[in-house]
A and B are shown apart, each in its own frame.
Chain A
């Protein structure tokens, strides 16, 4: 029998957005509402597509901020599915483990299955009295679940299409925490036709068949991090018997995070501004009704770098871009501009000189490389090695790199700026050069 189901994960309902500053009220309000609106769109899509069931593979909430509003919105959405006779299967993940947090929901609507944390549960799905599928799943008992839960799944048995629902980091994805780690082979061994996974926010199919192992990505992007950028939503999986005939992505996000890039080579300020404005317009067009939060990355070498050296001038450009962008829904919000530009002078040429700038370039290279012999900057541009704390500690002249207090580290966590961060170092060298070269004029 043919049927379709909806696969979503990492809803993170009503949870905050990261890495944003200075947002105006309208943008803040839209960001606050975006995850709930995206979930409402998910319910609308399930109803419109007349899916047989919906699976949600963990992280419905964001854990510590499991707000009442989010829980009630979740319950209401499931009620709408229940009213339409659509079953829902939910496996909680590391952000909303069963034994932690609290629940504002007394009871879920009929047809909703919350997978338990102690064992894998298997629920049959019938259409017109005929069993067409079974859905198995397990929830996290607590956030720090490091067991390989995939191994708890029994081999698929019985008729129909077998779906397994799990929140996991298959293959130990470097950018995500290693919760419930497992391997692709672990999943293949179970005999399920479709592994409906959650946890990795970038949409991807680890296996395109026998079985299908799929991350649908999160429902709504939450920052300008690469994994949070681009269209976000859910998957509609078309099934024919025990075969996946089609997997279709449906964008459901209300605010989209994107990065646009521009080169300054031979460009005037107006030209750069226009290039960024055009890029923003294109992103808004591609978002097809959703709002867009943009991170601009400026690259290249040229006189414009010299003209815009200094924070104030660059902030002026950022503010001007914000002023030019539409601030009605759907809006465009320029979150930041990242400058990876170089001065107009050829630093490689200056590197071999006998002046102070050359001394500084060589000093920076020594620190960068951790080696006594200077190398040309052109070589360092392409393949600078990561500066380690060890390399910094090895050179007592790096005493200017300050320490950041423990309280700030608590707030920033992994985001705490470090002097041995290559990008930060590069920015510091460029800042110093900007001031020195500005003084030469």
Chain B
């Protein structure tokens, strides 16, 4: 079965579109076209339709239609006798495009049929078997030995030899990286060591955990030991403590024994006295004593109070005390009178002040009589008129004042300008103020003209001097024409001539001005200068004209003579006796320049002086007029005052102030009237005060005086001041207050006396009661008196003390010894303190030894507890087990991968071996037939190197003598031919048979071998279709010469 391409129809693919070709040969065909005719595009189109278009993702879009859109087209096939069509259309999301296989009748075939048609190959494998390109052949030249072998081997091993060996080696390498028996540095060996280590750790940890029971028993034993030691220590400590206790009890034991002996001597108690007999006796006796002392104290206080009362009662005056209210009322009234008296004084001072101020205002307004105030006030009723009159007067006065000030100011300016002018006098030797400003200005302008002439003269002198020096430097030659510059006529003549005419014009203008300003002298001088200069211009003009015509010495001499003459004339005009030199002219020019400046400044000062004087004169005239108007207004004012009978002191400028004073006077007059009335009211009110005080004094004297005493109080005079009256009343009030105080004391002492008498009586009663109780107590005790009772009480007290000593010892014994009290008592009776001390020392020593042993046992116990705790809380077992599981899993995975790589490598190796055994001999046999044909028998065999088995099989080429040759020893062309033969043989062996696509594979061959190779292709084409793509016409020729019926498909260059 052989599939062939019958034709193609390209809808859109790269640069090709709407291209169709049918009738492609079954055998050998050449597809010829120049560069850019689309051969590669066509080859890719064929592959694309067969196996799917390359993905159109990424930057490069392989063979995307130049006109846009999707790639699409059809391939027309022959498969044995069946015609088929493959249609492929590029679509999004359809990998490789949508493909359809159609039968001749247009029915679609199953996808599997297409796969079967293509032998299950993909594009890559197809390329490796059925497509050979010039690129591959060219690449062979650049390969290393190993790569060349790979390529050759690959060419003959179904297109996968190189890949297969590489893949197998890669897998073996990977496997060996993971595990290699007896190797030490692989992943598995590392895991093995880790697992061995962790197993050991795990065993140790399990052993440690298993020992927990033993450690716990040790813990119990240790705790028991600690408890035993502690018990024995406590016993020793108790023994030592008892010995020390007996020693401490010994003194009390001895004292208690003595006390018991004394008690025996005192015998039994004589009678039963109350338990509190001694205290009761003392209390009764103290009560009697206290009652006696109270009675004495109360009686003394009573006597003292009665004496004081008698004295108080003899001196008190109730009538005087009865004035207390009246005195207070009068003192209150006196306070009010005092205030009125102060106001009266202020009123009088105020009246005096008001009268003085009224007098002042009357004097100011010019009305000596206050009675006139009302009339004058009526006369000035028309105040508006008064004010308007005053305003007009004020305006005139102000205008006059301003005019006066202007006159004063202007006069100052006149003085200043005059002073400036006067100062010039010294410069001119006569009073400058006599000059007029216009005269001086003309002088200044004349000086300016002279400065200008001097400047020109200086220039001419300099020029003349220069020419003369040139002549002298030339050796005194008289031929001036040689020395003078040969000026062209239009320059040498015209230029000086124009200058001279211009100067003459200016001088004429200056002359005109001189006549106008400086007078006929200056004007004449300037006119003369204009004539001279103008003449010079005419001469020069004439000279120039001549010079233009001829350059004779006479003409030039005349020009120089003219220059000298002009200098001489200008010197005379400027007042020089003879022609000056340049320095003199410069000095004269400087002097005249200074004069010109001075004259200009003076002219300005004079003009300012003249203007100031004229202005001052006008101002003075105006002041005079304003003064007259002001005086006229004043006269009119005075007439108006007389008309209205107003005081002449009233001035227009003081109208407001005068009116203010007039109003003030009238107000003061009203205040004086009001204050006078109040002053009179106050004086009347104060007249009752002396009388009221006199009445009080009389009443006080009357109440104070009795048979045994006389009281004298100063009586007030009729004009006594309120202050004096207050003093008198105060003395009366003092007497009254004393009487009131005495009255209160008498009452208080009387009440006290009554209370003291009652208390004295109660004290006497208590004394009687206490004495009765004492007597009753003694009788009850059966004694005659207190002395007998006290003797009995002393005996009982001693007995109780002794008994206390005995009892205290017993209590101390009980506290110290507790249940061992009886034993301790017997011990106290039996042994000595020294013996007990010895016992205590010995027992203490034993206790200390036991304590040390207990501490050591506790340390051991703590260590054991920690050990057990550590075991009990340990997570090591679980953690180690987890680590172990992790390692085991990793080991499993690594060994799994190792096994996978091994099996995969073995599978590839097995397939490769099988291929080499079963399929490669046929390929090599066919290839060496082709090679012999192409090389004309020079090389006749291709073999596997029998010495290079295993991982790296190698190919050898046999020459015509049968000697094996390494491909490296062959020429480039021969290697390419070996490669091509292998590829052709491989393709020939492949089932199904598919078209061979060869891309310019003959171009590196010499003509003979190219022809022979073409013959091989023709041979191959007998069993399958062979399509040769080329851009070389000679390839077409060779093919056609070798295979006359070969097809030629010519592609035109794409526009």
Interface flag for A210 (CB, 8 Å):
no
A416–B912 Cα distance when bound, in Å, is 29
> A429–B899 contact, CB under 8 A?
no
* Contact in complex: A21, B877 (CB < 8 Å): no
Are A417 and B896 CB-contacts (below 8 A) given A69-B877, A405-B181? yes
Given contacts A21-B890, A359-B158, A428-B903, contact A16 B878 (CB under 8 A): yes
Q: Are B160 and A14 in contact (CB under 8 A)?
A: no
Q: Are B885 and A20 in contact (CB under 8 A)?
A: yes
Within the complex, what minimum Cβ distance (angstroms) separates B126 from chain A?
A: 9
Asked if B895 and A65 make an inter-chain contact with CB atoms under 8 angstroms apart, the answer reads: no
Known contacts being A440-B125, A440-B128, is A69 close to B889, with CB within 8 Å?
A: no
Residues of chain B contacted by A69 (CB below 8 angstroms): 872-875, 877-878
Picked from B122, B882, B902, B907, the residue with its CB within 8 Å of the CB of A402 is B902
Question: Quick one: CB contact mask for B746-775 with A, threshold 8 Å, 1 for yes?
Answer: 000000000000000000000000000000
Contacts of A67 in B (CB 8 A): 209, 874-875, 877-878
User: Which residues 671-699 of B have a CB within 8 angstroms of A?
Assistant: none
Among A68, A346, A349, A425, residue most surrounded by chain B Cβ atoms (within 10 Å) = A68
Nearest Cβ in chain B — how far from A348, in angstroms? Answer: 9
Q: Which residues of A contact B891 (CB under 8 A)?
A: 408, 411-412
CB distance from A19 to the nearest CB of B (A): 5
Residues of B within 8 A of A311 (CB): 897
Q: Quick one: which of B120, B885, B907 contacts A350, CB cutoff 8 A?
A: B120
B892 touches A363 (CB 8 A): no
Q: Nearest-CB distance from B983 to chain A (Å)?
A: 14
Q: Is A393 an interface residue (CB 8 A)?
A: no
- Of the candidates B202, B881, B892, the one whose C-beta lies within 8 Å of that of A412 is B892
Q: Which of B112, B884, B908 is packed against the most chain A CB atoms within 10 Å?
A: B908
**What range describes how many residues of A lie at the interface?**
35 or more
Main SS at interface, chain A: helix
A353 to B881, CA, bound (A): 52
- Bound Cα distance from A230 to B1050, whole angstroms: 71
Q: How far is the CB of B905 from chain A (nearest CB, A)?
A: 7
Q: Which of A1-9, A77-85, A290-298, A431-439 contacts B (4 or more CB under 8 A)?
A: A431-439
B902 adjacent to A400 (CB under 8 Å) = yes
Which A residues lie within 8 Å of B164 (CB)?
A: 356, 436
Write the chain B residue with the least CB distance to A18.
Answer: B885
Whether the Cβ atoms of A68 and B160 lie closer than 8 Å is no
A27, chain B: closest CB distance, angstroms: 10
Q: A15-B881, A429-B907 are in contact. Are A363 and B914 (CB under 8 A)?
A: yes
Closest chain A residue to B909 by CB distance? A400
Interface centre among B188, B892, B904 (most CB of A within 10 A): B904
A415 — nearest CB in chain B belongs to which residue? B892
A441 vs B55: C-alpha distance when bound (angstroms): 13
Of A14, A103, A363, which is within 8 A of B877 by CB?
A14
Q: Would you give the 0/1 interface string for B100-121, flagging 1 where the beta carbon is closer than 8 Å to chain A?
A: 0000000000001001100111
Q: How far is the CA of A68 from the CA of B332 in the complex (A)?
A: 114
Q: Is A364 an interface residue (CB 8 A)?
A: yes
Decide if B902 touches A28 in the complex (CB within 8 Å): no
With A400-B905, A424-B896, A439-B167 in contact, do A351 and B120 touch (Cβ < 8 Å)? yes
A428–B174 Cα gap in the complex (Å)?
13
Rounded to whole Å, the gap between the CB of A81 and the closest CB of chain B is: 20
Whether A411 and B163, one on each chain, are in contact in the complex, defined by CB atoms closer than 8 angstroms, is no
Asked if A23 lies at the interface with its beta carbon under 8 angstroms from chain B, I say yes
The yes or no answer to B995 lying at the interface (CB within 8 A) is no
Cβ contact within 8 Å between B907 and A357: no
Q: Please name all residues of chain A whose beta carbon is closer than 8 Å to the beta carbon of B912 when the two chains form the complex.
A: 356
A349 and B129 CA atoms in complex are apart in Å by: 17
Docked Cα-Cα span, A419 to B889, in Å, equals: 18
A340-360, CB under 8 A of B: which get 1 and which 0? 000001100111111111111
Do B158 and A355 touch (CB < 8 A)?
yes
B996 to chain A, nearest CB (A): 15
A106: Cβ under 8 A from any B Cβ: yes
Q: A355-B158, A424-B903 are in contact. Are A400 and B990 (CB under 8 A)?
A: no
Contact B885 A106 (CB under 8 A): no
- Asked whether B212 lies within 8 Å of A352 as measured between CB atoms, the reply is no
B124 at the interface (CB under 8 A from A): yes
**Known contacts A359-B158, A363-B911, A411-B195; is A20 also within 8 Å of B900 by CB?**
no
Question: In the complex, are the beta carbons of B888 and A68 less than 8 A apart?
Answer: no
Judged by a CB distance under 8 angstroms, whether B171 is at the interface is yes
Q: Is B899's CB under 8 angstroms from A417's CB? A: yes
Whole-angstrom distance between the Cβ of B28 and the nearest chain A Cβ: 23
Asked if residues A428 and B160 are in contact (CB atoms below 8 Å), the reply is: no
Q: Is the beta-carbon distance between B872 and A68 smaller than 8 angstroms?
A: yes
A window 22-40: CB within 8 A of B = 22-23, 28, 31-32
A32→B878 contact, CB < 8 A: yes
Contact B911 A32 (CB under 8 A): no
A358 and B120 within 8 A (CB): yes
B171 & A431 in contact (Cβ 8 Å cutoff): yes
- Tell me the smallest distance from the CB of B193 to a CB of chain A, in Å: 11
Q: B158: which A residues are within 8 A, CB to CB?
A: 354-356, 359
Other A-B pairs, 9, CB within 8 Å; known A65-B878, A363-B914: A20-B889, A65-B877, A67-B878, A69-B877, A70-B878, A102-B210, A106-B216, A355-B119, A356-B157
Q: Is B907 a contact partner of A359 (Cβ separation < 8 A)?
A: no
Given the complex of chains A and B, what is the CA–CA distance between A70 and B129 in angstroms? 68
A-B pairs with beta carbons under 8 Å apart, 27 shown = A14-B875, A15-B878, A16-B882, A64-B206, A67-B874, A67-B877, A68-B873, A69-B877, A106-B216, A311-B897, A355-B121, A355-B159, A357-B125, A359-B915, A360-B907, A399-B906, A411-B891, A415-B892, A416-B892, A417-B892, A417-B895, A424-B896, A425-B903, A428-B900, A429-B907, A431-B901, A432-B905
Contact A397 B161 (CB under 8 A): no
User: Which of A15, A106, A401, A407 is the one whose CB lies under 8 Å from B899?
Assistant: A401
**Taking the complex as formed, is A174 at the interface, i.e. its CB lies under 8 A from any CB of chain B?**
no
The contact string, 1 if C-beta is below 8 Å from chain A, for chain B 150-189, is 0000000111111110110011000000000100000010
Q: Is A44 in contact with chain B by the CB < 8 A criterion?
A: no
Residues of chain B within 8 A of A351, CB atoms compared? 120
Given contacts A14-B877, A436-B160, contact A352 B167 (CB under 8 A): no
Establish whether residues A428 and B889, one from each chain, have CB atoms under 8 Å apart when the complex forms: no
Residues B907 and A440 in contact, CB atoms below 8 Å apart? no
Q: Quick one: given A69-B877, A400-B905, are A23 and B886 in contact (CB under 8 Å)?
A: yes
Cα distance, A367 to B904, chains bound together (Å): 12
Contact of B895 among A353, A400, A408 (CB under 8 A): A408
A431 to B158, CA, bound (A): 20
B871 within 8 Å of A (CB atoms)? yes
Q: Is B192 interfacial (CB 8 A cutoff)?
A: yes
- Contacting residues of chain B (4-25) with chain A, CB-CB under 8 angstroms: none
Q: State A104–B195 Cα separation when bound (angstroms).
A: 28
Q: Does B213 contact A (CB under 8 A)?
A: yes
Query: B971-1011 CB contact bits vs A (8 Å, 1 = yes)?
Result: 00000000000000000011110000000000000000000
Chain A residues, CB < 8 A from B119: 352-355
Residues of A within 8 A of B881 (CB): 15-16, 65
Closest to A439 in B: B163
A401→B906 contact, CB < 8 A: yes
B122 and A398 form a contact (CB under 8 A)? no
Q: How far is the CA of A359 from the CA of B159 in the complex (A)?
A: 12
- Bound Cα distance from A404 to B898, whole angstroms: 10
Closest 9 CB pairs of A and B: A400-B906, A439-B163, A356-B160, A353-B120, A428-B903, A435-B167, A67-B877, A16-B881, A440-B124
Interface string of A274-309 (1 = CB under 8 A from B): 000000000000000000000000000001000000
Query: Contacts of B115 on A, CB cut-off 8 Å?
Result: 346, 349
B910 at interface, CB cutoff 8 A:
yes
Report whether B212 and A21 are in contact in the complex, using a CB–CB cutoff of 8 Å.
no
| A427 close to chain B: CB less than 8 A | yes
Query: Do A400 and B907 have beta carbons less than 8 Å apart?
Result: yes
Q: How far is the CA of A404 from the CA of B899 in the complex (A)?
A: 9
Q: In this complex, what residue of A is CB-closest to B162?
A: A439
Q: Which residues of B contact A64 (CB under 8 A)?
A: 206
Whether B886 contacts A21 by the Cβ 8 Å rule is yes
Q: Could you tell me if B910 and A400 are in contact, using CB atoms closer than 8 angstroms?
A: yes
